[in-house]
Amino acid sequence: MELANFLHDGKLITIPRKQKAKEVLFDALIDKFEFDHDYSEKEVNEILAEVYDDYAILRRYLVDTGRLARDDYGHHYRRIKK
């Protein structure tokens, strides 16, 4: 599955429906984050907003799929090693 099929000028057009395509997207997105670095919610939003206007949904997917960890208050995020 090619991630480029869902991008136009570096921006995500739509979130893929098929799970395999979503996994490719999420793997590409998580590579924008460094290990051993704490990110504020604002920083995460800024990184994801470069890719898609609805950055909140992307943030939620990355947390829900175990790629990003979020503190109990949603203030700090950290990339998880898989």
> For the residues of 25-59, what is the DSSP string, one character each?
HHHHHHTTS-TT-EEEHHHHHHHHHTT-S-HHHHH
Which pLDDT score, from 0 to 100, does residue 1 have? 61
Query: Three-class SS of residue 8?
Result: strand
- Low-confidence stretches of the chain (pLDDT < 70) are 1
pTM for this prediction: 0.91
Domain tally for the chain?
Answer: 1
DSSP state of 82: -
Q: Are 64 and 75 in contact (CB under 8 A)?
A: no
Quote the domain boundaries for residue 67. Answer: 3-79
Reported as type and span, the H/E element at residue 12 is strand 11-12
